[in-house]
Structure 1
């Protein structure tokens, strides 16, 4: 098969499915206004984005069987402890259908941020069916990061330090 035939076939296939290449992702992407959500935590709390305006928010999707998730959780916890009182909120949302309840409660007690059972709201979830997946929302409620893959402490710091340095928006009365 000649190269021209392969290229022509690929072009024809792309045209046969209009909009395929331009399809909007099912999840929020960087630059989007953050969709509203609520997170139910293992301690029976409910946290809503509407109540977090002016804070930097991290939603971390993870699973108990995921080794990179567990390593990332330690980095997130260290960062959160260092930035306490700076307007940062982190939520670890487990993606398993039946996560071990006792282990979830024990983890929640050990961490400096809440562990969620589920997140209700469109625009969030695993990206490319992968964990960990992280969404970062700035103080103005704009998604600044939406990607699959684990953060290290350093990469988390590089992303969040500038966002935490931004002033809180002034409320209009």
Structure 2
């Protein structure tokens, strides 16, 4: 899957790993969020960062998740400038970053993500903007972030 495959959709991408405790807490909430948004222009994709694909498969089977889970193997880290997991990014219909979330802080964060998704969907095809902050302006970590070196 490439960025070109995402053109025309509002896409939420979540980076996670099976060993990441906050990821294990966040994922059921994101799955519920995904199931509740029925707009055909919305996509939810997860990017697993486990070194062993079998670990990712076991995690998905444990929870019964059916959303697309791609293997990132750390290759997209530089494209989205994330330093810890979980990391979530929302892309507009032109694949521009709308917003980034580092870590998982609870139900309020999921509702914030929902509101940003709904606002972006309401924009229709008006994309072409980047109202996300640059990686340098992002906080290093938020509460609930699991940094990459905390395996």
TM-score using structure 2 length: 0.67
From 97, 118, 124, give the equivalent of 2:80.
124
**Compared with structure 1, are the counterparts of its residues 79 and 87 closer, same or farther at alpha carbon in structure 2 (3 Å cutoff)?**
same
Where do residues 1-173 of structure 1 align in structure 2 (5 Å cutoff)?
Answer: 47-99=1-53, 100=55, 102-104=57-59, 106=61, 110-118=64-72, 123-124=79-80, 127-128=82-83, 130-150=84-104, 152-168=109-125
The one-character-per-residue Cα deviations of 1:136-160 (angstroms, maximum 9, x if unpaired) are: 1111321111342226321221221
Asked whether the equivalents of residues 89 and 97 of structure 2 are also in contact (C-alpha less than 8 Å), the reply is yes
- Number of paired residues? 121
Q: CA deviation at 1:55?
A: 0.5
For structure 2, which runs of at least 5 residues remain unmatched after alignment? Answer: 128-151
The structure 1 segments of at least 4 consecutive aligned residues displaced by more than 6 Å after TM superposition are none
Q: CA deviation at 1:81?
A: 0.9
For structure 1, which runs of at least 5 residues remain unmatched after alignment? Answer: 1-46
TM-score using structure 1 length: 0.59
The one-character-per-residue Cα deviations of 1:77-112 (angstroms, maximum 9, x if unpaired) are: 1111111343111111111211425415526x9324
- What is the RMSD of the two structures over their aligned residues, measured on CA atoms? 2.6
